[in-house]
Structures are given as structure tokens and as C-alpha cells.
Chains A and B, each alone.
Chain A
Amino acid sequence: MPAYYLEIAVVVLGLVLLLVEAFTPPQHKRRIGWAALAGIAATFLLLLTVKSHCGCDSPMWQFYDDSSLSLFFKGLALLCTAFVLMLGLEYLPVLEKYSARAGGGPATGEFFALPVLICAGLMWMASAIDITTIFLSLELTTIGFYIMVAYMRRNVGSLEAGVKYLILGALSTGILVYGLSWLFGATGQTGLDAIRTALPSAARGPALFAFALILIALCFKIAAVPFHFWVPDVYQGAPTPVTAFLSVGSKAAGFLVAIRLMEPFLAVESLRTTCIAILVAVACATLILGNLAAIPQGNFKRLLAYSSISHAGFLLLALASDRHTGELTSTRIIAFYLSAYLCMTLLAFAVLIIINKSTGSDELKAFDGLHRRNPFLGFATLIAAASLAGVPLTAGFLGKFFVFIAAAGAQQWLAIGIAVAGAAAGFYYYFKVIRHVYWNTAPEGAAAIPVSPVAKSLLIILIAATLVLGVYPQLILGLL
């Protein structure tokens, strides 16, 4: 079976869900969520049967790549979507409150259909090897996200976030198209393979201009400085499952596109030095700002927003340290880092959603005395924070460790220094969360926090994954 059937299946799934949604009574919208989850899970199982390079003849292969790397990122997108759908089911009560029609019941059905369509975009992005398909799939996800961010239409914060994301997103899209058109102008090609062969003979100025513009647009997607300004506001305003989706799915796909698009530039010796220098500069700025700005945050969602920025810095550093010989190529490092990031970040968001449902607050104060109000939830927070900070035996540690190895191999000593300082700062602000959970006492009369079976199974899976990847990275590295 060629791999692109999977995207078709997911798109069909999304459309069917939208159709069915129209005929589902409001009190049964939850079923749409379960159906979407089942469909995504089935697609994931199908993915496991797909082999890379199927060899079948099709005009599709000009635009579509089915290497193991692409399949891996497809799997990441599907898993991420599945987890987000579970988070969405958990978040439903909050969503119902803020999405009511005027004079009618809550309108939550599309909330489960849209992630499926976004997932199709992410999966397509994982395979796109032509700048036209890259652009199309990128837009498919971004437009889906515009709607998702502003989904809670009775909530001012969500609407404001939606507007900000829409306008700044449009700005970055414009720059991306502009950059891609310069790339086309410089090489006369749209396929990445053809671009790779044509680029060495292209004029230096236009090529670098194209590089800069493309990098800027991708920096927006992956939340790198100085195009990160939307991140804290949008993360805070959007419905929390959407924030999680943005922070994991969007970033993962963005990085794969970045790997694909940057690679032809880095392969040309005359452009390489400049490109690497810019990448490292952006990485350093991202590391510094992401970590420093995280320190004073008192809101967990905003904290995670800055954490997302700082992780983007580490990933960029890995991207800039390509040509690392041996088993750990920068692509594999990024793939591993993103897998680790998926586990720990979704874990943190899952905890946040559960707490928000009980307390109605995203502030760190809401975590006070969590280990007494629900020890398991406290433990989950501990694992998430430890892994995000990079404590050994968690996935987050190995991710950072691999980045340091690659950067040391590329002799980026200044960047390593900054990254070390950033990681150290990370310990401070992530452990602040742990302090709230274990040291601070709960406010008077605080009740126990219930965890539903769905949420509990989700937490267990994510905790296990975080710890297993922390001692057995080969699980991911072996796939590539």
C-alpha cells in the first residue's frame, strides 16, 4: 500500500466526521470525539503496516516522499492528534461553557473534526518534497489552527488569541511564499531534489535572500526568537488542547520542513557558513530569551509557552550542527528530541487541563499542595517538570544530551555555553512547579482533584513513555 493512502484516509475521516456532526444531537457530541480517536488509532495501525519505498509506480512520487523519516513524522503527527483528541474529551466541559450558540446548545462537534483535518496536513507535510506541496500542507494545518485557536467564541481571550494568530500567521505565510518564489526564481525548480542540484550554480544573493525569508517563516511556525511574540499570548488564550497541539504537532512538522528546506542550502559550501551563522544566532537568541523570560512567569500555560520557545532553541542548535558523523545525525537527534518533547509537553498539558477543570485556573498557585489533593497527578507533574528540565533518566535529558554532543562535534562552543546556561535556568523555573506541588500547602478547604479513567490512562502512557525513552533511546533512534 502506498503511504499516501493514509492522508487520503485521514481527510475522508475528517469530512465524514463533519457530515455526521451535523446530524448529531448536542448531548452526543462526545461521540464524535471517540469516533475521531478510533479513526486516528486505526490509521496509526495502518501506518505500522506501510513499508517505506513501496516501489509502486505513481506520478505522486515527484511530490511525495515515503522514506522512514517521513513515516516516522507521520506516526508522530497521528500520535499527537490522538492524544490531543483525548485531551479534548477531557476539556469538553470548559469548551461547552464558552462555545454555546446564541440561544442554543453548545457547538463542540467541529472541535473533534478539525484536528483530524489538521492531522492530514501534518502528515502531508511530513512527506512533502516539493515547495508547492510544502506550502499547501503548511497552509492546511495553519488555517485549521486559526479556527481552533478562536474556538471558544464566548471567551474574549480565545478570540483575541485567534485574531493575533491569524494576522501574524498571515504575515509569516506571505513571507514564506515570497521566499519560496525567490527560491524558484534562483533555481527554476520546485522539487527539492532538483533544487539541490540547481542551487550550487544559482546566484549567491537571491539564494541567501530566499534562505533568510524561508527561515523567518519557519521560525514563526516553530516559535523561535524574534518571531515568537505570538506564542505566549496565543498559547494562553487558546483552548488548552489546541495549545498542546500547536506546541507539539505544529512544531514537529515545522522542524521536518526546516530540515528538508535548509538541507540544500547547507550543502552548498559557499552559502553554508552564512546559513549556519544565522541559524546559530537565532538558536542562541531563542535560548536566551526563552529561558530568561520563563523565569518570572506565574502562569503555567505561559510558562509552557516560554518552555516551548526554549526547546525550539535546542532543536535549532541541533539543526545547525549537521554533519555530525556517526550514528547520531542531526536529523535523528531532532526526531528523538521531538518524540521526547511530545511526551513531556503533552503530559504537562494533560495535568494542566485536569487541574483547570477542577479549579478553573491556569496559575501556578492552582498547583499548591497537589501531592495531597491527588498524589498521582502530583507525580505526573514531577515527571513532566523533571523531563522538561532535563533530569537524567528522563527523555528530556537524553534529548538535550544528544544536542550537546552534536553541537560539541560542530564546535559551537559559544552556543553550547548559552545552552548550558539556559538549561540551568530551566531547572529553576521547572522546579518552581515542583515546589508548588510538593512544598506549598493547599489552600484551606481545597478538595481532592478527580482524574477520569481516560485522563488517567493518558497520563500513565505519557509517564511511561517519558521514562522508557529516558533509558532506552534506541527505541526511537532504531526507527530511523
Chain B
Amino acid sequence: MTSTYASIILLFPLFSAAAILLGLKKKANISALVATGSALLTLVLSVLVLNAKEWSSVTLLQWSKVGGLELGIDLKIDQLSSGMMLVVTGVGALVHLFSLIYMKKDAGKARFFAGLSLFMFSMTGIVYSANLAMMFIFWELVGVSSYILIGHWFEKNSAADAAKKAFLTNRIGDFGFMIGILLLWAATREISFDGLSNAVAAGNMAPGLLAAATLCIFCGTVGKSAQFPLHVWLPDAMEGPTPVSALIHAATMVAAGVYMLVRVSFLIEASGWAADVIAWIGGISALLAALMATQQNDIKRVLAYSTLSQLGYMVMACGLLASEAGMFHLFTHAWFKAGLFLGSGAIIYACHHEQDIWKMGGLKDKMPVTFATFGLCTAALIAVPFTSGWWSKEAILEAAYKNDGLLFPIAAGTALLTAFYMTRLFVVVFFGKGRDSHVAGHAHEVPMLMRAPLIILAVLAVLAGFALIAGPVLGDEYAKYSQFHFSVPAIVSILTLALGVGLGLKLYAGRDREPVNIKLFANKFYFDELYAKIVKLCQDSVAAVARVLDGLLIDGVGVGGTRGFANMTGNALRRIQSGNLQGYACLFGAGVLVIVLLALL
């Protein structure tokens, strides 16, 4: 039964996208309802799958079978994928509902909802895939559908550029991912997770090769989950509509990278030093992103850098061989970050699409529901004790404390910065007085259909960490994470929280202008400029070489020579093809003679 449900969960969004693109495009409202309906249906089915707990694997489509290589659309239904599906469809359904209002008057509404459905289809494919090939296919589909969604307002240059940047940056990571898959296939002749797991456990791979393959696979995560040094696309991707940011930059697309790491955790565990590299990349990303977040003025960008930073935590956990902790944080983070993004969407909607926090202010009274829900989600993000974020971050800090002496201070520092920049955001947006009368002056609470998702997400932000919720979704072994006990990480965590919030209040309470100015952070450590320089340099030098080669070798000798030869023979052959029947019969006879001679001599 569960396998049927899972197949429907996978295929329904595809049907919805196809129906909209092929038939309903002109009927925007029906399109929106079809997509939302499909999202809600998949949510219900996900709950049923999770409830039934019948784990199985099912082959939906045997795509091709060449030698020992069997490529297929195989669904793997287990605790991990079912739990992840609940996150994806849960956040997805809420985002669909929110978008019904947010995108109400958009000209490309039907296209937007078709993109959402396509995205849900791709994401579901990643979650359910039982082999790396299928995961890669859907990985790329996620890339394509995020391109469509980020670039939804493609008439804006910045949106089109951001979509392109996201796509290209991801391509770099995906290239490594593909090499990793090929390496694993070459070494073990296995492509399914189960088969690979057995092969690795049997010690069929040389340690060096295994580490290399793991790092290549990890490249996929670096791209998709926007880890250092491929983190540059995520903040720009905020050019997409805000519900998209909530969906793909909080709960799904960027989480796919971490989900994949959890799926291949058996590789990481066996890979030795590669695990350390992964942990350090995660730690560095977490810290750098938190530093950059402190100086951003665009409400969505702050959240974007915060996402980067939290993803860094998760990746670090996976590298520290505590993938359960990573998955736990993914789970809790999905709810509160989606809540924050949708909350920011509500604020932006109320403020007539203004995103600069220094033009807002005093929204506390005008948007009480948004204020309350945003506050609860912020509390979870900065890990106020007993909120969901606290439990999961605690698990990661614990892992860092146990495993690596240096990563723990980094993680703790990130926690401090998180508390600091979120306090800054919260204080500047909701307190003080409205700084720009055009923006904050006319703000008012958003409609019910937008408030409902916020409230649901806020409730989950607080409660999702408790064993009551996390247990059934992620597995009973997660119950141990939500039991409080005193330890060094717990104390450090509370101290950093107090320090961060205190510092934030001290600096920003009652301010109307940015009191600190750190150019390096505001300009994101100049990564974009650096990459642009490098790309330009490489491109220019390759282009110069290519120009010489193209002119002399390709055009001159290659094309010219081939063309001359082909023309000459073509004309000669045309002469033989005279249309003269006697001639043909004669040539036929000659052919007979040649073949017979060949046979007999």
C-alpha cells in the first residue's frame, strides 16, 4: 500500500505541472487550485505512508538495462525518506497556500504554480530515490525547476541573473557529484544505496579511492546546499518570489544536499579523512555566513545567510559522523526557517514589496500575528531553550564537542553570531518607530490564508523538537535528543545566546541607522568579485588560445580540408551516378566480381 502511495506522491505533482503547462495555462486561478490541491494530497499521503511504517523498495520504471548496469526509477520507502517527505510536503503545502494570496495578482501565476508543482515532483524524486543515478536525474530537475522559480520575474535583470547564477554554480557541484557516482560505479559496480552500502561494508574499495569518491559526491552537496566555496548563489536567489525562498531555500532544495549526505552516511563513515574535510567545510560555511549576515540590510538576505550558516551546521554534523543530529536539525530548521521566510513574505507584502529593514520599524502593533509568529521562529533559530532549534543545535554542539577540539569553538561562535544578527533583525523590523512612512506607515496585518501557515509553522517551530513529534517522523532513536541534561555544550549554548541577544539589544535597540560598519562583512568577503576576476582571467586566456587554434587549425586545415575532400568525392560519385541503366548494370557486374573474388581468394 505504501508503495502505491509513494508512487502517487511522486507522480501527482508531475501531472499537475503537465496539466497546467499543457492545458490550464490561461486559467490562472484553476491552475493555482490544481497545484495547491496536489500539494495537499501529497501531504495527506505522506502522513499515511509515515503512519503505516511499511518500509519497502519498489521499482516504478525499469528504464534501461545495459550489462550489469540497471537504471531505474526505484523508490526507497524507509523512515528517512518518509520523514523527509513529510517535511517537503508539509512546508510545500503551506507555501502553496501562502502563495495563493502572495501571488494573487501576478501575471505569471499559472507559470508560477506549474513551477512549484514541477519542483515538488523533482524534490520528491530526490527523497525517494533508491539509487544514485535516479537521485542525480532528479537533482538536475531540482536545478531546472529552481531556475524557473528563481527567475520567475525574468523581466527584472537581477532575477534573470540570479537564476542563471544559481544554475551555473550548481552545475559546478553537480559535475563533481557525477564524477563521484561514476567513481563509485567503477569501483563497486553498484549504484543503489543498498548495494553500495554492502560493498563498502565488505571493504571492496581502496581507502584513498573511497575518500576521493566521497568528496566528489560531497561536491553535489556543496553546490545544492550552498556551502563554502559555492555559497554565492543562495543570497542572490532571494530575487525569486518570497514563497519560493521559503520552499526551496529553507526546507527543500538546499536541504536536499544534507539529505543526500545522510543517505550516504555509510560512505562518510568509511571514508576516513574525507569526513574531516566535510566537517570543516560545514564549520567554515557556518561561521562565514553568520559573519556576513550581521551586516545585511535586506530582510531576505539576512535570512538567506542565516540559512547558509544553519546548513553549515548540518553538513558539519554529517562530517562529524553524527548524521542523525544533522537530520534532526534539518527537520527542525525546515519549520522555523520556512516560518521566518513566509513571515518576511508577509512583511514584504504588507510593506508594498520593500525589503530594506531600515525602512521598516514599529511593525509590532500593526502586524501582531506576524510579529508573534516571527518571534517564535526567531526564538527557535537562536536556540532559546526548549524550542525545537535548541534541541537540534544542542545535538550538533554535542557532536562537535566530542569529536573535534577546534570545531566546537567555531560552532559556539556561530551560535553567538546567530543570536546577535537575529536580534538585530527582529528589533529593527518590529520595534522603534516606522522609519519610512510610505513603507511602514500603511502596513497592516495580512489576510487569513497567509496567517494560517505562519501560525502552523510557529507552533511547529516551538514543538517539533520534542520526542512526541520528532519521534514518529524521524524514528524513535531521535527521542534521546530531546532530553535535557547539563553538559558543557548546554552551558556554552545558553551563555552565547545571552551574550548574542544582549549585544544585539545594546547595539540596535532604538536605532534608526546602522551603528556599526564593517565593509568586509557587508560585501560578503568580496567572494563575488574574486570569482568574477578568476572567471574572467580564465575565460580570456582560454579564449585567446582558442581563437588562434580555431583560425589556423579548425577553420584552415580541418574545415577547409574536409570540405575540399568531401566536395571532390561527392562530385566524383555524382558522375558515376549517371542515370544510365547500362552503366548501372555494368557496375553491378563489377561489384559481383569484386565480392566473389574477395570470397574465394
**Residues of A near any B CB (own CB < 8 A):** 163-164, 167-168, 171-172, 175, 205, 208-209, 211-213, 215-216, 220, 226-227, 229-230, 232-233, 274, 277-278, 281-282, 289, 292-293, 295-296, 326-328, 425, 471-474
Give B580 Cβ to nearest chain A Cβ, in Å: 10
B567 with A296: CB separation less than 8 A: yes
- Set B64, B583, B596: member contacting A212, Cβ < 8 A: B596
**Given A230-B584, A292-B570, A474-B63, also A212-B577 (CB < 8 A):** no
Is A326 in contact with B595, judged by CB distance below 8 angstroms?
A: no
Find out whether the CB atom of A168 lies under 8 angstroms from the CB atom of B570: no
Give the chain A neighbours of B518 by CB distance below 8 A: none
Distance to closest chain B CB from A242 (angstroms)? 19
Q: Can you list 5 contacts pairing A with B, beta carbon distance less than 8 Å?
A: A208-B600, A212-B600, A220-B588, A278-B599, A296-B574
Cβ–Cβ < 8 Å partners of A293 in chain B: 569-570, 573-574, 577
- Whether, in the assembled complex, B591 has its beta carbon less than 8 Å from a beta carbon of chain A, the answer is yes
| Minimal Cβ-Cβ distance residue in A for B566 | A295
- Which A residues lie within 8 Å of B579 (CB)? 233
Interface size on B, residues (CB 8 A): 31
Contact of B64 among A220, A232, A295, A473 (CB under 8 A): A473
- Interchain CB contact under 8 A, B577 and A232: yes
Q: Does B577 contact A226, Cβ atoms closer than 8 Å?
A: no
Known: A211-B599, A474-B63. 13 other contacts (CB 8 A): A163-B581, A164-B584, A167-B585, A168-B588, A208-B600, A226-B587, A274-B599, A282-B595, A289-B573, A295-B567, A295-B570, A328-B66, A472-B63
> What 0/1 readout, one digit per residue, does chain B (352-366) give for beta carbons within 8 Å of chain A?
000000000000000
User: 10 closest pairs, A vs B, by CB?
Assistant: A226-B591, A212-B599, A296-B570, A229-B584, A293-B573, A208-B599, A212-B596, A292-B569, A295-B570, A212-B595
| A219 vs B329: C-alpha distance when bound (angstroms) | 69
Complex CA gap A289/B587 in Å reads: 14
Supposing A226-B590, A230-B584 touch, asked if A474 and B596 sit within 8 A by C-beta, the answer is no
Contact code string B532-571 (vs A, CB < 8 Å = 1, else 0)? 0000000000000000000000000000000000110111
- Give the distance to chain A from B70, nearest Cβ to Cβ, in Å: 10
A278 to B588, Cβ gap below 8 A?
A: no
CA distance A126 to B64 in the complex (A): 27
Q: Answer yes or no: B598 CB below 8 A from chain A CBs.
A: yes
Once the chains are docked, how many angstroms separate the CA of A275 from the CA of B573?
27
Question: Does B487 reach chain A (CB closer than 8 Å)?
Answer: no
- Asked whether any CB of chain A lies closer than 8 Å to the CB of B56, the reply is no
- Nearest A residue to B597 via CB reads A212
Bound-state CA distance A216–B595 (Å) is 8
- Cβ of B67 under 8 Å from chain A: yes
Which residues of A lie under 8 Å from residue B595 when comparing CB positions?
212, 215-216, 278, 282
Q: Is B65 an interface residue (CB 8 A)?
A: yes
Residue of A nearest to B584 (CB): A229
Closest partner residue, chain B, to A421 (CB atom): B562
B590 — which chain A residues lie within 8 A by C-beta? 226
CB distance from A305 to the nearest CB of B (A): 10
Interface centre among B569, B574, B588 (most CB of A within 10 A): B588
- Chain A residue numbers with a CB within 8 Å of B530 are none
Given contacts A327-B67, A328-B66, A472-B63, contact A209 B591 (CB under 8 A): no
- Set of chain A residues within 8 Å of B202, measured between Cβ atoms: none
- Indicate whether B1 reaches chain A with its CB closer than 8 angstroms: no
For the complex, give the distance between the alpha carbons of A246 and B233 in Å.
Answer: 56
Are B573 and A168 in contact, with the CB atoms below 8 A? no
- Assembled-state Cα–Cα distance A208/B64 (Å): 39
Judge if B406 is at the interface, Cβ distance under 8 Å. Answer: no
- Are A278 and B598 interface neighbours, CB within 8 A? yes
A49 CB to closest chain B CB (Å) equals 25
> For the complex, what is the distance from the CA of A267 to the CA of B569, rounded to whole Å?
37
Are the CB atoms of A205 and B600 closer together than 8 Å? yes
* Assembly CA distance A233 to B587 (angstroms): 15
Asked if B62 is at the interface of the complex by the 8 Å CB criterion, the answer is: yes
Point out the residue from A164, A212, A326, A327 that lies within 8 Å of B598, measured CB to CB: A212
A291 CB → nearest B CB, Å: 9
Collect the chain A residues with CB atoms within 8 Å of residue B571's CB. Answer: 296
Q: Are A327 and B65 in contact (CB under 8 A)?
A: yes
Q: Is B488 engaged at the interface, CB distance under 8 Å to the other chain?
A: no
- Given the known A-B contacts A226-B591, A229-B587, A296-B574, are A281 and B598 also in contact in the complex, defined by CB atoms under 8 Å? yes
Q: Does B592 belong to the interface (CB within 8 Å)?
A: yes
Bound form: Cα–Cα A296–B577 in Å? 13
A212 CA to B591 CA, complexed, in Å:
11
Contact with A along B212-228 (1 / 0, CB 8 A): 00000000000000000
Which residues of chain A are near B577, meaning CB under 8 Å? 229, 232-233, 293
Residues of B within 8 A of A296 (CB): 567, 570-571, 574
Q: For the complex, what is the distance from the CA of A440 to the CA of B129, rounded to whole Å?
A: 46
In the complex, which residues of chain A have a beta carbon less than 8 angstroms from the beta carbon of B186?
none
Q: Which interface residue of A164, A205, A229, A282 has the most chain B CB atoms within 10 A?
A: A229
Contacts of A216 in B (CB 8 A): 591-592, 595-596
Q: How many angstroms from the CA of A281 to the CA of B596 in the assembled complex?
A: 13
Assess whether B594 is interfacial by the CB under 8 Å rule.
yes
Cβ–Cβ contact A474 & B566, under 8 A? no
- Min Cβ gap A376→B in Å is 15
- Chain A min CB distance to B346 (Å): 43
A177 to chain B, nearest CB (A): 14
B64 x A168 contact (CB < 8 A): no
Q: Contact check: which of B66, B566, B592, B600 meets A175 at CB < 8 Å?
A: B592
Task: Tell me whether A474 and B599 are in contact (CB under 8 A).
Answer: no
Q: Say how far B564's CB is from chain A's closest CB, in angstroms.
A: 12
**B178 CB to closest chain A CB, in angstroms?**
16
A229 touches B588 (CB 8 A): yes
Cα separation A246 to B62 with both chains bound (whole Å) = 35
Cα of A289 to Cα of B591 in the assembled complex, Å:
14
> Could you tell me the distance between the alpha carbons of A290 and B579 in the complex, rounded to whole angstroms?
17
B169-203 toward A: CB 8 Å interface, digit per residue (1/0)?
00000000000000000000000000000000000
Q: A227-B591, A296-B567 are in contact. Are A171 and B573 (CB under 8 A)?
A: no
| Residues of chain A lying within 8 A (CB to CB) of residue B574 | 293, 296
CA distance A232 to B596 in the complex (A): 25
Cα-based distance from A215 to B579 in the complex (angstroms): 24
Residues A209 and B584 in contact in the complex (CB < 8 Å), given A216-B591, A293-B574? no
Cα distance A292–B592 in the bound complex, in angstroms? 22
Please provide the chain B residues from 101 to 131 with a CB less than 8 Å away from any CB of chain A in the complex.
none
- Which residues of A lie under 8 Å from residue B596 when comparing CB positions? 209, 212-213, 216
Instruction: Determine how close the nearest CB of chain A comes to the CB of B140; give it in whole angstroms.
Output: 14
Residues of A within 8 A of B573 (CB): 289, 292-293
Q: Judging by beta carbons under 8 Å apart, are A227 and B66 in contact? A: no
Q: In the bound complex, what is the Cα–Cα distance between A422 and B502 (angstroms)?
A: 74
The interface bits of chain B over 41-77 (1 if a CB of A lies within 8 angstroms of the residue's CB, else 0) are 0000000000000000000001111110000000000
Q: Which residues of B contact A164 (CB under 8 A)?
A: 581, 584
State A213–B585 Cα separation when bound (angstroms): 16
Shortest beta-carbon distance from B344 to chain A in Å: 41
B61-99 near A? 1/0 per residue, CB < 8 Å: 011111100000000000000000000000000000000
- A168 and B585: CB pair below 8 A? yes
CB-CB under 8 A from A171, the residues of chain B are 585, 588
B66 touches A327 (CB 8 A): yes
B599 and A227 contacting across the interface, CB-CB below 8 Å: no
Complex CA–CA separation, A215 to B592 (angstroms): 10
Residue on A with the closest CB to B600? A208
Bound Cα distance from A281 to B579, whole angstroms: 26
Do A292 and B566 touch across chains, with their CB atoms under 8 A apart?
yes
- Cα A390 to Cα B248 with chains together (Å): 37
Q: How far is the CB of B64 from chain A (nearest CB, A)?
A: 6
Chain B residue numbers with a CB within 8 Å of A326 are 67
CA distance A295 to B567 in the complex (A): 8
CB distance from B33 to the nearest CB of A (A): 30
A326 to B66, CA, bound (A): 8
Residue of A nearest to B586 (CB): A229
Q: Which residues of B sit under 8 angstroms from A227, Cβ to Cβ?
A: 588, 591
In the assembled complex, the CB of A297 is this many whole angstroms from the nearest CB of chain B, namely 9
Q: CA A164 – CA B588 in complex, angstroms? A: 12
